[in-house]
Amino acid sequence: MDATLTIEPFGFFTLESLRAGWYMIWRQLVRVVPLVIGAMAVGAALAKLGMPVLGILITTVGVMAAVIWGAVLVPKLTSRWAEARYGYTLAAPGSVWWGITWRVWVASLVAAVIFTPPNFVALSLSTAFANGALGMLGQLLATLLGIANFAVTILATGWAMSRVTAFQLSGMPVPSAPFVPASSVIEPPPVAPTVIEPVHAAVSFRPDPVAAPVSVAAPVALQAPAAVSAPAGAGKQCPKCGLYETERGTVIGWYCRICGWRESPRPIGPPAAR
């Protein structure tokens, strides 16, 4: 016999209700709030341009579209949450929307009744002592009560989501494998291809005993360059490079323009005695 799901709804003041409600609320806000702000900005701009009726119309239409969009998102987001948590999507979007909405309204109404006396005290203090310490205390109390109201809305939303999900999915067969949503799957990093180094086999070359011996040509004797004949009108031959590119200077005597040879200067003095 296959096992079935047994889903217990969350308690109201629990961390699970807070997480589920935040899953719903912030996904609604990031879609609805920009639409409302855009409609109000366009309406204000049209009012400044002298078209207040058109501005009010566009603002109203934008706010109504945001409210309808937020209502449509309730069953969609709840179904995604149920699929990520239990492995099943929810059917009947209308029933899902109504089951969550009336529970949130009731919880908000109860919270409003409970917070009415503190809100009245905060309003009285901030009005009667506008510039005093008690007025600041009243404003702080009003801020804290607003935060508490928002927290109650989140808790009520998560609690209502768990109630509706438990009503639809209780008794469903337990999935054979744990459900993993596609958004949470982390792809492994790419693996670098393995480079296989080629194996160089040691090859020994042995002379073939049958092969004929290779004859080696005798070295060719290099011929000495022929003697360079003196060109017409050239100087005497350079004893260093053997060329006739020499000139006679008035001070240093004979020198070569190619290799830089220079004739040794003759000693100055009286001739040696014979």
Distance CA 70, CA 225 (A): 105
Range of the domain at 73: 15-176
Whether residue 115 is found in the same domain as residue 237:
no
pLDDT tens per residue across span 116-150: 999 999 888 888 888 888 888 988 999 999 999 99
Find, among 80, 85, 68, the residue nearest to 5 by Cα. Answer: 85
Domain end (from 128, 143, 176): 176
Domain end (from 142, 176, 210): 176
Whether residue 171 is found in the same domain as residue 88:
yes
pLDDT tens per residue across span 210-253: 444 544 454 554 454 445 555 555 667 777 787 777 777 666 67
Whether residue 46 is found in the same domain as residue 167:
yes
C-beta atoms surrounding 149 within 10 Å: 14
Domain count, the chain: 2
The larger pLDDT score, comparing residue 111 to residue 237, is at: 111
Whether residue 28 is found in the same domain as residue 139:
yes
Decide if pLDDT at 168 tops 70: yes
Whether residue 128 is found in the same domain as residue 56:
yes
Distance CA 232, CA 110 (A): 130
Quick check: is 201 in a domain?
no
Asked if 57 and 40 count as a contact pair (C-beta separation under 8 A), the reply is no
pLDDT tens per residue across span 142-166: 999 999 999 999 999 999 999 999 9
pLDDT category at 200 given cuts 50, 70, 90 is: low
The larger pLDDT score, comparing residue 177 to residue 10, is at: 10
pLDDT tens per residue across span 11-22: 999 999 999 999
Asked if 78 and 161 count as a contact pair (C-beta separation under 8 A), the reply is yes
Quick check: is 136 in a domain?
yes
Whether residue 242 is found in the same domain as residue 150:
no
DSSP code, position 182 = G
Quick check: is 61 in a domain?
yes
Quick check: is 1 in a domain?
no
Quick check: is 203 in a domain?
no
